[in-house]
Amino acid sequence: MTASGMQSDAVAPESEELLRLVNLWCEGELGQEQFERMQHLLRSDASLLSLFVRFMHVHAGLVWDAGRILVDPDEKVGLATAAVACVSDPDLLFVAPETVGRQHRRSWVLAAGMACSLVLAGVVGWLAGRQPESVPVVAQVAAEQSAGAALPTQQVASSGAVVGNSAVSGELVRSERAPLQLNGLAPAKSPAVAVEPTSVADVAVQQRSVLDATVIAQIDQLLERSWSENGIEPAAAASDYEWVRRTHLTLTGRISTEQETAQFVQSADALKRQKLVSSLAADPATAENLAETWTHLLIGRSNARKVDQDSLWSFLREQFGDNRPWMETVGRLISAEGRSDRQGETNFLLAHLNDQATPATAVTARLFLGRQVHCTQCHDHPFVRERRQDEFWALNAFFKQAVREPIGKSDAMSATVWSLHDAGGESMAFYENLRGQQKAVLPEFDGQVVDATGSRRAALAKLLAEDQQLQVSRAMVNRVWAMFFGYGFTSPIDDIGPHNPASHPELFDYLTKAFADSGYDLRRLMTWIAMSRAFSLSSEQSEKLATADDPQEGGMPLFARIYPRPMGPEQVYDSLRTALTSLTGDGRKATQSGSIRHRRAWVEQFVRAWGTDDNEESLVFGSDISQALLMMNDRDLEQAIPRVAETLVTAGAGEGAVASASLRHLALGTLNREPTEQEERVFRNRYRSLVRSMPPQEAMKTAAEDMLWAYLNSSEFVSVH
Amino acid sequence: MSLWNNYGMNRRHFMQHMATAAATIPAMNFLSHVQANADVLKSSQKSCILMWMGGGPPTIDIWDLKPGSKNGGEFKPIDTAASGVQISEHMPETAKVFGDLSLVRSMSTREADHGRGRYYMQTSYVPNPTVVHPTFGSVVSYEIGRNRKALEIPAFVSVDGGAGQAGFLGMTHAPFVVDNTGRIRNEPSEESRQRLGARLTMLDEIEAGFMNSRRGELPKAHQDVYKNAVNLMTSRQMVAFDVAKSDPTLGLEAESDATRDAYGRNGFGQGLLMARRLVQVGVPFVEVNMGGWDLHAGVFDTLKNQRLPQLDKGISAITADLKARGMLDNTVLVWMGEFGRTPRINQDVGRDHWAASWSVMLGGGGLKNGQAVGATDKDGLQIADGSKAYLPGDIWATVAHAMGIPINTVHTSKRGRPMKLANGGTPIQELIG
Amino acid sequence: MSDAAAENEASSGSVSGGPNEEFVRLFTTVQRSLYVSILPMVHTPADAEEVLQETNVVILSKWAQFRPGTNFLAWARAIARLEVLRFRRRSFHRVQLLDDDVIHLIAERLEAEQVNLEEHREALVHCVGKLRQQDQDLIRRRYSPGANGDRVAGDLGRPANSVYQSLGRIRRMLVECVRRRLAEGGAT
């Protein structure tokens, strides 16, 4: 059947089929086999080819005219119709009929200048004998939708879990990976962790017996009650894949490796979740993660005040690694004395003694007590009666004797080592109220005035430990809860008080007391939450839950599902490293994440200090363009990706098997799950199109590189979910 | 579905429009005409440059001096090109161009904490845990940027800024933060450029799967941001960020040493110069940050020797430059910080936080410039009797008016709460005439 | 790149003259036809634009080689075809690009058909105008900038497959209508 012009299409029996295929091709929905079939049809019959050309002419004409073929100002015929159509269509950009033509013409004129210039630039390049290969893509409308998760940075930061450098603390004894002893289930055993009473700063921590199983049951019961009161069903239980990834991310600050994931999922042990929590809670990586998080909270990522970040980190690492009572850690930070390079805990206050120690006052209240007092520096709190201006200064007075002095160098500008000590004498704080009247207050906390000799700061530490309101416990419970769920019982997590009602007051009170009774045992607090039913729920939400339990816009969280949220920068860094090293087969290396300094430098590009008296900084991270550019183009990643692909591809033999195996490695190693059928398809398509122009092995490697790139750039990879 | 496939849109537009335009243009004059044309087009686009003074500037020493008062400090006022308006003696160059600038001297804004003040001044709303309000730059990106189809780089650029939030308008309207050198980190290598299309196609498949798994809005936001990022990295408009680069087709020349000197060889000056280039390529909102204003101690020395010389150069240069290019009437200048500073001088010769009575500077934008609106009392402690007190919403409403954004615009938060533009502020009558 | 472009701006002055007015007029009038010829060979609109852009660069650089009086579109199409093949080789990694031999077949068919694309456009306008309102609406949505079938389905709350089917049906109607219209109008 030769070309018989335009009337022939009805004749060919395959024309139906061709039209169907071409139609899907235009939608980008044609499978690879169908595509080959289409090419075959085009080769086989000139009438089909002719039909194809006519079909594509219609398609191309419509594309060129952007479907506005009728709106063209030159086409009087269509103008009215189009205008009417536009008005009847609420989704259209245009609002009123008279704007249709105008807007259209305007963009027309606007574009004209630009387009001419584009071509000309190309011509100019060409004439100069250069290859004008990259006349740039002029791309894309601004996205119309206003979607976007607006997660408060506070919470993102607080969940910013991190893995640190285990080399720093080489001599630390790694705790045995024994199964978690739920002492309610195993009453014969002694309490889960024995806490030594601490002597530092006279902090007396009283320990009462608390049973892990009781606490967990109580969490479940109180949450379940609130679910039924709110008439909702919690989300389904998370799969092993989902749970193991999230638990690793939350505790150690990195995703699970391919091997860890596979082992966990395959294990038939009924107690495997308990065992994993128990093991991870005691893992050095978790201590390092907490140390990094608290280093940021205490002195900031940008370290604008040039204190000894590493030294503080090491102090924290040791406290968390030894599971020292949280109250002891707080006490040591507040009452620290000594050199910044030797007594790491001094660096907290060294960073905040500027501006009459007002930052030290505000940060202490916020981090350790969960209270925002910064604005009471200048005036009474507008609606919390207890928070008066004098209260701020009374707290401030505890820090009045603290002195920061350079060691070695005489001038403060070039000093790198500092000493923190208390000078004797004056401990009153002076301030002026809004009327300019001078006031003076003595150090006072919780109604107790301290006017004796001795260290005021040690006295404060003691008062905190004796506080009947358990504010230190409450603040930490809220923070750790938010570390697991992205949201605490209050929002923001560090503004607790009668003015800011908690989502679950009874549970909040209960955990506050339980944590204090446990002797401020952080490991147990984390275990309770990790083993709760709420944490084992899926992040996949039913339609109802998406609206019924949505704290994103200030609603009270019900914790009836896991709220997906973006990773913090340290989590991204460590997860990238974990994925890349575990995929090259060296799983051990993954857990000893390289150098903290490299990570800090990497993270620092997203941090900006404001240089204000409250030592504020801001983190530009989480679904923004800079992060996208980094994930797409980072040079280190660019070098690492081919190495991974090389390992995967040379490891296999037969083509089909290699493809499946490689893809499975990639999915497990990055997203901690099996690849989907869609992913299989796209990966195979990529391979097939590559293998036409290169040897199979190279095509497989290239396809694996691209797939890995795509996995790492997915929103799933950078989410905690 | 493909992210990548969608990118063709604009180029087609350009190509088809080019055909039309070229038909009317004598070939020999192609280039010059394009440039002239581009200039005309650009100049009709409205933009805003926000000069953000992080830390809270002592406006009593800059814009609203109190000679003779115990709070007056060390500086003397001088006359400006605007009759009856006096500013600090350390702002001599700015004084010369003050016919194109204005002051609002009766700001009264309540929030004297850095974080809260910044939030309030930039969004017009006080912080509220139940909703994240967009900063005004994000509002402009949403209202104007998304309709500016020829713009391939983000519609809200922040030079040396922080993570100003887009709130319920979505991450695509968050500021793109660059430092004042204009260096864009992580530009793609040639090889990754080559493979980008295929990789994005694969990424799309993975994203589609995650979206279908009902994980909320993260994947959608992620995809939008990636689109913007791809746009940015494939755009020639990138040259706007680099003051040393030129692109005649965009009407951008490499900035001469003289120009760079005029703006001042410091972060603020070079940031402003970059801002002008960004405005030239159509960016509707640029924020340029200048920090170091939290002057609790030694305020006068710091102002005289560091802050004010830089500020004076920067403001006078951008004003004169925009004017010379015929861009000033379409570019609103806004100068503000999170609050002012105490009229009283403290024991460390510093000034503390003060929100009750302070000044904001505006300029350009076709406003009725060359005047000072509102006044404080003789010691600067409160708004003068008979003077209207202004809120940040009034400033942004004035800016919205100048930029052609309808004042009665209402956005809706994710929970369906209506949010008035600029918190329902009113344009300042004296300025809009 | 822009730096270089700027530098070269000066050197381009040494090439004597530039395309004359007539050339630019022809150049601009064939843009749509060129695009419509290119798209069938490269499948996606984005790729078609890229090829068109590159084709234009070549056309403008070779303006001196064009002989006035000969068929400009045919000349330009020949260039476009080479550019399609160049693109094809450069973009081997793209999925679902037609093989070289098929591209040649299509290009040859295009030349053989000698469709007057101006008339074709008029016919298309006419035929779209004759569609039912809801079909017009679907076409307008599908071809509005940045749209695709999948997204339209999402907007309409319809399954993607059913939208693809509708689009297929409408496109076929248009193909048939255009064919008849052109036949009636008679080729020039």
Compute mean pLDDT per 10 residues along chain B, 433 residues long, and list them.
33 35 32 38 78 96 96 96 97 97 94 88 86 92 90 93 81 88 85 85 90 84 87 88 90 93 96 96 96 91 96 97 95 97 90 93 97 96 93 96 93 80 94 90
Residue B427: Cβ within 10 Å count: 19
pLDDT bin (cut points 50, 70, 90) of residue A514 is very high
Q: Which residue has the tokens 């294990």?
A: A267
The whole-number pLDDT of residue A448 equals 82
Residue B418 covered by a domain: yes
Residue A85 pLDDT exceeds 80: no
Owning domain of residue C21 = 17-114
Domain assignment present for B82? yes
What confidence score (pLDDT) does residue A545 get? 85
Last residue of a domain, one of C97, C114, C131: C114
Predicted confidence (pLDDT) per residue in A621-679, tens digit: 665 788 888 889 888 888 889 988 888 877 554 566 667 888 999 999 999 999 999 99
Q: Is A69 on the interface with C (CB under 8 A)?
A: yes
Q: What is the residue-averaged pLDDT of chain A?
A: 75
Q: Is residue B295 part of a domain?
A: yes
- Interface contact flag, B27 C5, Cβ < 8 Å: no
What angle, 0 to 180 degrees and rounded to 10, lies between the N-to-C axes of helices A596-604 and A569-583? 130
Query: Would the CB atoms of C53 and A60 count as touching at under 8 Å?
Result: no
pLDDT for res A153? 31
C7 located within any domain? no
What CATH number has the domain bearing residue C160? 1.10.10.10
SS3 per-residue string spanning A174-232 = CCCCCCCCCCCCCCCCCCCCCCCCCCHHHCCCCCCCCCHHHHHHHHHHHHHHHHHHCCC
Backbone angles phi, psi at A275, to 5 degrees: -60, -40
Residue C161 has which token pair?
A: 């497959």
**A686 vs C: CB within 8 A:** yes
**Are C32 and C72 found together in one domain?**
yes
Contact A28, B8 (CB under 8 A): no
Instruction: Assess if residue C58 is contained within a domain.
Output: yes
* Residues of chain C neighbouring B254 (CB-CB closer than 8 A): 6
| Contact across the interface for A3 and C172, Cβ inside 8 Å | no
Inter-chain residue contact B218 with A683, CB threshold 8 Å: no
Of C56, C88, C114, the one marking the end of a domain is C114
B77: containing domain: 46-186+251-432
Residues of chain C with pLDDT > 70, as a percent, come to: 84
CB contact (8 A) between residue C171 and residue A23? yes
Q: Which residues lie below 8 Å from residue A390, measured CB to CB, with a gap of 6+?
A: A439, A441
Nearest to A338 by CA among A312, A319, A366, A310: A312
Look at A10 and A21; give whichever has higher pLDDT: A21
What CA–CA distance (Å, rounded) separates A316 from A289?
10
Please check whether residue C181 lies inside any domain of the structure: yes
Assess if residue C101 is contained within a domain: yes
Residues C84 and C173 in one domain: no
Chain C residues in contact with B13 by the CB 8 A cut-off are 145
* AA identity, residue C150: D
Return the minimum-mean-pLDDT range out of A121-135, A428-442, A532-546, B306-320.
A121-135
* DSSP per position, A659-689: HHHHHHHHHHHHTSSPPPHHHHHHHHHHHHH
Identify whether residues C101 and C45 lie together within a single domain: yes
Residue bearing the bigger pLDDT, A303 or B271: B271
A642 touches chain B (CB under 8 A): no
For chain A, domain boundaries: 5-64, 287-466, 572-720
Residue A436 has pLDDT above 70, yes or no: no
Residue C176 in any domain: the answer is yes
Q: Do A681 and B220 touch (CB under 8 A)?
A: no
Look at residue C3 and tell me if it is in a domain. Answer: no
Into how many domains does chain C fold? 2
Measured in angstroms, the CA of B320 and the nearest CA of chain A are apart by 26
Are residues C64 and C132 located together in one domain of the fold?
A: no
Distance separating the N- and C-terminal Cα atoms of chain A: 59
pLDDT band at C82 (very low <50, low <70, confident <90, very high): confident
CATH number (domain holding residue B414): 3.40.720.10
C119-135: pLDDT as tens digits? 888 888 888 888 888 88
Q: What is the mean pLDDT of residues A57-80?
A: 56
**pLDDT value at position A380?**
56
Lookup: tokens for A582: 């575990």
Higher pLDDT: B54 or C145? It is B54
Question: SS3 sequence, chain C?
Answer: CHHHHHHHHHHHHHCCCCCCHHHHHHHHHCHHHHHHHHHHHHCCHHHHHHHHHHHHHHHHHCHHHCCCCCCHHHHHHHHHHHHHHHHHHHCCCCCCCCCHHHHHHHHHHHHHHCCCHHHHHHHHHHHHHHCCHHHHHHHHHHCCCCCCHHHHHHHHCCCHHHHHHHHHHHHHHHHHHHHHHHHHHCCC
Residue B242 in domain: no
Contact state of A110 with B9 under an 8 Å Cβ cutoff: no
Q: Would residue B216 count as lying in a domain? A: no
Same domain, C101 and C120: no
Contact B108, B390 (CB under 8 A): yes
Average pLDDT on A270-274 reads: 92
A113, A491, A610 member nearest B34 (Cβ): A113
pLDDT for A220 beyond 90? yes
Span C51-68, average pLDDT: 80
In a domain, B297, yes or no: yes
CB contact under 8 A, B236 and C44: no
Q: Are B172 and B178 in contact (CB under 8 A)?
A: no
**The predicted structure's pLDDT at residue B1:** 33
List B333's β-bridge partners, or say none: B49, B363
More confident site: A37 or B130: A37
How far apart, in whole angstroms, are the C-alpha atoms of residue A393 and residue C131?
77
Q: Do B220 and A491 touch (CB under 8 A)?
A: no
Q: Cβ B18–A119 below 8 Å, yes or no?
A: yes
**pLDDT confidence of C141, banded at 50, 70, 90?**
confident
Mutate to test the interface with C, among B3, B28, B233 (most CBs of C within 10 A): B28
Count of domains observed in chain B: 1
Q: A91 CB near a chain C CB, below 8 Å?
A: yes
Residues C187 and C154 in one domain: yes
Mean pLDDT of A158-172: 31
Q: What is the mean pLDDT of chain C?
A: 77
Please name the member of A43, A64, A702 whose beta carbon is closest to the beta carbon of C35.
A64
Residue of B9, B20, B176 with shortest CB distance to A140: B9
B33 chain-A contacts, CB cut-off 8 A: 116
Q: How confident is the model at residue A379 (pLDDT cuts 50, 70, 90)?
A: low
**What CATH number corresponds to the domain at position C26?**
1.10.1740
Instruction: Say whether both C100 and C120 belong to one domain.
Output: no
Q: Are residues C98 and C138 in the same domain?
A: no
Residue at token pair 């260290």: A455
Could you say which of C44, C52, C145 has the minimum Cβ distance to residue B5?
Answer: C44
Same domain, C164 and C79: no
Is there a domain that residue C99 lies in?
Answer: yes
Q: Residue A691 carries which side chain, given as an amino acid letter? A: V
Interchain pair A126, C39: CB under 8 A: no
The distance of Cα A283 from the centroid of its chain, to the nearest Å, equals: 21
If asked whether residues C57 and C100 sit together in one domain, one would say yes
Q: Do A85 and C9 touch (CB under 8 A)?
A: no
At residue A360, φ and ψ (nearest 5 deg) are -55, -40
Return the pLDDT at C93.
59
Q: Tell me whether A33 touches chain C (CB under 8 Å).
A: no
Residue to mutate among B123, B153, B185, B205, with most A CBs inside 10 A, is B205
